[in-house]
Amino acid sequence: MRVDHHDGQTAFLEALSALLAVCDTLDDTKMLAASRCHGWTVGDVIAHVHLGLQEMLLGLVSPTDAEPDTDAAGYWQGRLPGTGNEAERIGQIQYVRRLTSAYRRPTGLLGHLRPTADAVSRMVSALPPTTVRFQGKILASGDFLATWAVEVAVHHLDLKHELTLPPPAPTALKLARTTVESLAGAPILPALDDEVVVLAGTGRVPLTDFQRRTAGRFAARLPVFG
């Protein structure tokens, strides 16, 4: 699954802008609401995204002349940081919870998120088509930005577990759906909307019996990443 540089760039910038707009509406009480990520509040998910954006900067400053060895869907296959054994997953959950609890008020971390997000947005906006090294993989810039558009869109959905919030950017949500279907090896299923496919494809929400019948053989392949 190859993603054009401009398409990946647009999807990521729109995904991040939509997430920041949601963050601007959150107060301390909403930050403490449960998310779709096991063991994490809304604030914990935002802290995780903030850490991810900081890590993303490493890819943005690591261009290479080497040929890509994975693409926007292949990136999600195999082991990713924080998705190892049970002890590592629990350690990641606890680390983020401790980080979030260090703020005197839950909304305090939003003040740190915005400068990082603004810096990443400026770098992505100025990034020419290239190839980057990231987490031991080599990706074309369009694919690299697409993976982060998906990451932001999925975590945007995580915030909506208990809260009524606007949806992720359509470009990023569509890209997340395409990633799920690419990994599942199944055709597009227009009867199921993008949010349903992404939530089921990432193991957030099981399909209902009706949705499972609608999905057919696609259903048995879910989730494909999480």
Please tell me the predicted confidence (pLDDT) of residue 205: 92
Helix (H) or strand (E) holding 170: helix 170-184
Residues 6 or more apart whose CB falls under 8 angstroms from that of 142 comprise 2, 3, 4, 5, 6, 7, 8, 9, 72, 129
Residue type for 67, please?
Answer: E
Please tell me the predicted confidence (pLDDT) of residue 222: 86
Distance CA(127)–CA(148), nearest Å, equals 14
Please tell me the predicted confidence (pLDDT) of residue 22: 98
Task: Delimit the domains of the chain by residue range.
Answer: 5-186
Distance CA(108)–CA(106), nearest Å, equals 5
Distance, first Cα to last Cα, the chain: 18
Please tell me the predicted confidence (pLDDT) of residue 105: 96
Residue type for 217, please?
Answer: R
Nearest CA to 11 among 153, 196, 213?
A: 153
Task: Summarize pLDDT for 178-192 with one digit per residue, the tens.
Answer: 999 999 887 767 778
Largest CA distance in the chain: 49
Please tell me the predicted confidence (pLDDT) of residue 18: 98
79 pLDDT exceeds 70? no
Q: How far, CA to CA in Å, does 205 sit from each of 143, 146, 198, 200, 226?
A: 26, 23, 9, 5, 11
Class of 5-186 per CATH? Answer: mainly alpha
9 pLDDT exceeds 90? yes
The mean per-residue pLDDT over the stretch 116-127 comes to 97
> Please, what's the b/e burial string for 145-155 (b: 16 or more CB within 10 A of its CB; e: otherwise)?
bbbbbbbbbbb
When pLDDT is cut at 50, 70 and 90, the band that residue 80 belongs to is very low
**Mean pLDDT for the chain overall:** 92
In contact, 42 and 97? CB cutoff 8 Å: no
> Please, what's the b/e burial string for 208-217 (b: 16 or more CB within 10 A of its CB; e: otherwise)?
eeebeeebee
Please tell me the predicted confidence (pLDDT) of residue 84: 58
Distance CA(105)–CA(137), nearest Å, equals 37
Task: Summarize pLDDT for 136-175 with one digit per residue, the tens.
Answer: 999 999 999 999 999 999 999 999 999 999 999 999 999 9
Q: Please tell me the pTM assigned to this model.
A: 0.93
Residue type for 129, please?
Answer: P
